[in-house]
Amino acid sequence: MSTPQVTTTDLRAFTEEWLAWYRGHEERLAAPHGFMSITGLHWLDDRPRRLPDAPGAWSTDTDGITVTLDEGEEVVVEGTTVRGEHRFGVLPERGGVDVAWGDSVIEVARRGGHDIVRPRRPDAPLRAAFVGTPAYAPHPRWVVTGRYAAFDEPRPTAVGAAAEGLEHVFDAPGRIDFELAGQALSLTAFPGQAPDGLTVLFTDATSGVTTYAASRTLSVAPPAADGSVVLDFNRAVNLPCAYTDLATCPLPPPENHLTVAIEAGLMIPRERGGAAAAS
């Protein structure tokens, strides 16, 4: 790969901007109720059952999720204190409700067609032990311009998941074509969190070596009027499944397994035996 001519001053400014982004990402990950604070992943069915890390008895049926709290138990749902029985209704796929219980938050959600309860506590062992994610040293060489090609219609795309037996389905709006290491490459894109933004799930030749084997993800800003997009692989991050088995993360579609080595972005977490940070 040819290396762009970058002055020391430019590289210093680029690195400082990346460090600000990296620190923000790590702070969100390790927030009191972030993914590092999860204590359990509970799959619901029509049999009410109590959980070790949440109050009440939980179940789900065609009318959605229900919790029945014992006398003296209470939670807060969307600002309202709830006692006795509470029905959440049918949640949309990838939707959810955060329920407050003391200093804990109980995530009530739907993933891959299944209803789940996933409590989060600030004193969770994984969060308490978290010291940050190793990362490659950032460099502008890993910032490339691609071209977004929208499909005629969004394509329902089924992918596997970190949780065994689970499947996610996304409506892929298009693909991103770009060149890296002298190779013409393409990634199927899924909708991003920002309006009109995109996200890509991918693996590359570093996966399972220096980066997490299952997947990394990259957020992409909305395409410009001419269809151009910027892929900054320095900001490729791990999904929660890289840190904990209590995750239901989607895996990349087959066409997003790249053969080039993208030595940029976040590496294998220390929680999974990752090495010291490269940056």
At residue 68, the pLDDT reads 98
For 76-118, give the DSSP string.
EETTEEE-SEEEEEPPPTT-EEEEEETTEEEEEEEETTEEEEE
Q: Which two tokens stand for residue 39?
A: 């204590």
Does residue 5 carry a pLDDT above 80? no
The whole-angstrom separation of Cα 267 and Cα 243 is 11
Query: pTM (2 decimals)?
Result: 0.91
pLDDT in tens, 24-80: 999 999 999 999 999 999 999 999 999 999 999 999 999 999 999 999 999 999 999
pLDDT band at 278 (very low <50, low <70, confident <90, very high): very low
CB-based contact 219:279 (threshold 8 Å): no
* Percent of the chain clearing pLDDT 70 (strictly above): 96
CB-based contact 59:49 (threshold 8 Å): yes
Average pLDDT over residues 218-226: 97
CB-based contact 221:232 (threshold 8 Å): no
Q: Residue written as tokens 């969307």?
A: 78
At residue 203, the pLDDT reads 98
pLDDT in tens, 103-115: 999 999 999 999 9
At residue 266, the pLDDT reads 98
Nearest to 150 by CA among 201, 203, 191, 202: 191
pLDDT band at 6 (very low <50, low <70, confident <90, very high): confident
CB-based contact 75:160 (threshold 8 Å): no
The whole-angstrom separation of Cα 75 and Cα 119 is 13
Does residue 279 carry a pLDDT above 70? no
Does residue 253 carry a pLDDT above 50? yes
At residue 97, the pLDDT reads 97
Whole-number CA gyration radius for the chain: 21
Average pLDDT over residues 82-104: 97
Nearest to 108 by CA among 124, 89, 123, 80: 89
pLDDT in tens, 121-168: 999 999 999 999 999 999 999 999 999 999 999 999 999 999 989 999
Does residue 269 carry a pLDDT above 70? yes
| Cα angle 112, 114, 119; round to 5 | 105
Average pLDDT over residues 196-204: 97
pLDDT band at 272 (very low <50, low <70, confident <90, very high): confident
At residue 4, the pLDDT reads 54
The mean pLDDT value of the chain amounts to: 94
